[in-house]
Every structure is written in structure tokens, then in C-alpha cells.
Structure 1
């Protein structure tokens, strides 16, 4: 069975792997403790599926993040 194109896999899919850190955009092969701490306070800046920069809108109740390839992130 062919491997799906990462750009075709929805970012909020529960079966999708997270190959990139949402804060620094580097490969998430090993944990990034500083990034995990910052992501608890800030919205993600990079798509965890394709490493593209996200369009982020900060709201009083949270944030909205959108990837140009994957759409809205949950």
C-alpha cells in the first residue's frame, strides 16, 4: 500500500504522526522540553505535518491556526 502524501493527510487526523515541532519547526524525533513549555502558553507557529508557517490569529478565548496545505488545526 503506498504511503500517503503528508500534504494530503489532515493535520488534525488522529492517525497522523507529528513529524515536526509546532513551536520551532524542527523534526520532533526527540522531545523539545523548552518548546513543549512554550506551546502550553503560546499558539503553534509551524504546521506539525509539513513544517509550513501557520497563519495564527490570537483571540481573547484562544487562537485559530491555519496551514496553507492542511487547513485549520484543532
Structure 2
């Protein structure tokens, strides 16, 4: 199981959920599971979001996720 934490617009798109537990082997699988659970609005946010896995940026959405990892979902932010 993974701990998923939502920030800013990702939290709003997930219906106000800030943290939840999800089973997924990769970010791609995670994104699909979260879209199925919360809807296409979150799916759109996830397409543009950055992901931190245990505090480190992860760009490879096919890479295996370690069991028990914390995944932070950070949507694009306005400004600099």
C-alpha cells in the first residue's frame, strides 16, 4: 500500500481528500486508479502534476514504486 497526499488543486479535484491509502505498482497505475476512484477532473490534474516519491521527484511513470512509499501529488502552481 502507498500513502497518497494531495496538495492544492489536486486536493480539490479529489473532492477535498488530503490523504489516502492506495495499492499501485507504478505512478501510471496509481494515476489510473485515482482517476477511476475520483473522476476525470482529477485525471486531468494528474496528467500535469509532479510526483514526489518519499520526498524525491519521480518523472518515470512506469518505474516500480517501493512498498509503503509516500507519494505527494503536486499540481502546477501559478507564479514563480
* TM-score under structure 1 length normalisation: 0.31
Identify the structure with the greater helix proportion: 2
Identify which of structures 1 and 2 has the higher relative contact order when contacts are C-alpha pairs closer than 8 Å and 6+ apart.
Answer: 2
Identify the structure with the greater strand proportion: 2
Structure with higher Rg: it is 1
